[in-house]
Structure 1
Amino acid sequence: MSERTPMIEMCNVSKHFGSVIALSDISVQVHSGEVMCLLGDNGAGKSTLIKTLSGVHRPTHGEIRLNGEPARFKSPAYALDAGIATVFQDLAMIPLMSITRNFFMGREPTVGWGPLKRIDWKLADRIAKQEMGKIGIDVRDPSQPVGTLSGGERQCVAIARAVYFGAKVLILDEPTSALGVKQASVVLRYIAKARADGLAVIFITHNVHHAYPVADAFTLLKRGGSLGTFRKEDITREEVLNMMAGGAELESLDAELAEFQRSDTERADADTSGVRPPLAAGQ
């Protein structure tokens, strides 16, 4: 794996906002046909990282490489033209517009030329229906408002849109965070399909239970820094959880909870025995 050229790579990337260090010396590699999960709690730097990859921010230090070549994106449009598609949490969809309109978003197929040029709605509807069918979602009427779909299905519309328009790198920002178990499984299934189709997928989440089944590798972020990158075969789900939460913090929490439980037990024993605990001075 290491001998192949990564599809996308961050090399010692840092991002500063004035005196605030949002990212510090981050290096990540993602190959085609691979799912890299970026894991971290709130404030770990996940959002800044994906905005840097997708052209919203420019790195303060370091370099981004696309298929081995240095890449500098002036805006998200340049990143999209280069094949980097980002699906943010808000999905950039208009609920009252049709599935087809949301699928194409201004890139609808046309017929005719010059002043007679017009949108080919029949072809657009057929493409939207076919692309959704490929991921197992049967859309009876692609002209129905996208707001009538479930959360998981709307995520899949956004992902299918990115894939259809030639994405080589697919960045997913917390796609399962607000979904139930069944809806999340739909999205995870499509992430696995995108990997099988040869895309390089970056899956940002704080939910290890969603990340572990589909991931090939994990990069753990904490307070803007990287705790390392690990292949799935080299780390267990429990080890990932422990690193995210912090072993020392968990041990401290366990000790505090045990102390609370001991105090509650002593108070309950005193109440049942009729012996009241001694009053503090002045009571």
Structure 2
Amino acid sequence: MNSQKPVLSLKDIQKHFGAVTAIENFSLDIHPGEIVALVGDNGAGKSTLIKIISGVYAPSSGTITIEDETVSMASAEIARSHGIEVVYQDLALADQQSVYMNMFLGREITNRFGLLDRKTMIAETQKLVDELDVRIPSPHATIRDLSGGQRQGVAIARATRWAKKVILLDEPTAALGVAETAKVEEIVESLKARNIGVLIISHSLDQVFRLADRICVLRRGQQIGIRETAKTDKNEIIGMITGLQQQDAA
């Protein structure tokens, strides 16, 4: 087990929408440089959890702790201020804009005259895509002209630029082919060296076993269990997802 303090801790998280319980008694620690996969069927509550961590939804009860500080994720802005970034399935990129403008979307760097400091933004973008090996023609390239894998790489690079603690990835390779998926997985893997905690939602168990240090299984809003990837196999995880294997004792 990781001996470092968790960068993010969720404790007894519950989320109700009226009479419907979407998440029940969910607890999870994520450590710096660790990749944790969140798996479960459609409707299991995975996206709801991502939205709770990222400040879109407030939990009905439970606590969220970042490096020993209990925080209230009352908005996405607050989550970002605590160093948490999300890459959603739709990427939230501005198709008509350049890569470097997307990298700083809503957080543009300006000079002392209040004008856009394009030179600095371009240089920072180039440095980051080089470090992460995101293969794009140039920081000036327009998003709409990039392939799906290149766009995903830009979205992850942007999250990396701003995330200090945790990156949340929601199905990062769902729409990609084999080669582009492999490239994006390399980028995700490289985040470990930056000591960023990663929580990834994926329907691909092959991908989960390639990337994740631990696997957390949700079924109908309930946390079925957490397994170290090296100490489990696909059959056990499938059993947990489908209900053939019972929920771990609390």
Deviation, 1:126, is 2.1
In structure 1, what is the equivalent of residue 194 of structure 2? Answer: 197
Q: Distance in 2 between matches of 1:138 and 1:174?
A: 20
In structure 2, what is the equivalent of residue 90 of structure 1? Answer: 90
| TM-score under structure 2 length normalisation | 0.93
Deviation, 1:87, is 1.0
In structure 2, what is the equivalent of residue 119 of structure 1? Answer: 116
Deviation, 1:2, is 5.8
Question: Where in structure 2 are the equivalents of 1:20-35 lying within 5 Å?
Answer: 20-35=20-35
Counterpart selection for 1:167 from 164, 168, 183: 164
Aligned length: 245
In structure 1, what is the equivalent of residue 52 of structure 2? Answer: 52
Taking a change above 3 Å as real, the CA distance of residues 100 and 3 of structure 1, as seen in their structure-2 partners, is: closer
Residue 13 of structure 1 aligns to a residue in which SS?
A: strand
1:69 aligns with 2:30: no
In structure 2, what is the equivalent of residue 140 of structure 1? Answer: 137
Contact 2:40 2:217 in 1 (8 A): yes
Superposed CA offset, 1:101-138 (max 9, x none): 11110322222x2xx32112122222212211222234
Q: Distance in 2 between matches of 1:228 and 1:143?
A: 45
Q: Which runs of 4+ in 1 moved over 6 A?
A: none
Residue 218 of structure 1 aligns to a residue in which SS?
A: strand
Residue 190 of structure 1 aligns to a residue in which SS?
A: helix
Question: Where in structure 2 are the equivalents of 1:235-274 lying within 5 Å?
Answer: 235-247=232-244
Deviation, 1:62, is 1.0
Q: Distance in 2 between matches of 1:92 and 1:230?
A: 32
Contact 2:168 2:198 in 1 (8 A): yes
Taking a change above 3 Å as real, the CA distance of residues 107 and 2 of structure 1, as seen in their structure-2 partners, is: closer
Which residue identity lines up with residue 106 of structure 2 in the other structure?
G
Contact 1:38 1:219 in 2 (8 A): yes
Superposed CA offset, 1:206-232 (max 9, x none): 211111101000000010001101111
Residue 62 of structure 2 aligns to a residue in which SS?
A: strand
Contact 1:36 1:201 in 2 (8 A): yes
Structure 1's unaligned 5+ residue stretches are 249-283
Higher helix share: 1
Structure index of larger Rg: 1
- Aligned-pair identity in percent equals 36
Larger deviation, residues 42-51 vs 236-245: 236-245
Q: Distance in 2 between matches of 1:152 and 1:167?
A: 24
Residue 118 of structure 1 aligns to a residue in which SS?
A: coil
| TM-score under structure 1 length normalisation | 0.82
Q: Distance in 2 between matches of 1:168 and 1:193?
A: 15
Deviation, 1:187, is 1.4
Which residue identity lines up with residue 81 of structure 1 in the other structure?
S
Q: Distance in 2 between matches of 1:98 and 1:121?
A: 11
Q: Distance in 2 between matches of 1:141 and 1:196?
A: 24
Q: Distance in 1 between matches of 2:114 and 2:68?
A: 40
Residue 230 of structure 1 aligns to a residue in which SS?
A: strand
Larger deviation, residues 128-137 vs 7-16: 128-137
Q: Distance in 1 between matches of 2:3 and 2:197?
A: 16
Q: Distance in 2 between matches of 1:47 and 1:183?
A: 23
Deviation, 1:45, is 0.2
Residue 241 of structure 1 aligns to a residue in which SS?
A: helix
Which residue identity lines up with residue 70 of structure 2 in the other structure?
P
Q: Distance in 2 between matches of 1:33 and 1:125?
A: 27
Which residue identity lines up with residue 178 of structure 1 in the other structure?
A
Deviation, 1:168, is 1.0
In structure 1, what is the equivalent of residue 217 of structure 2? Answer: 220
Residue 94 of structure 2 aligns to a residue in which SS?
A: coil
Contact 1:129 1:138 in 2 (8 A): no
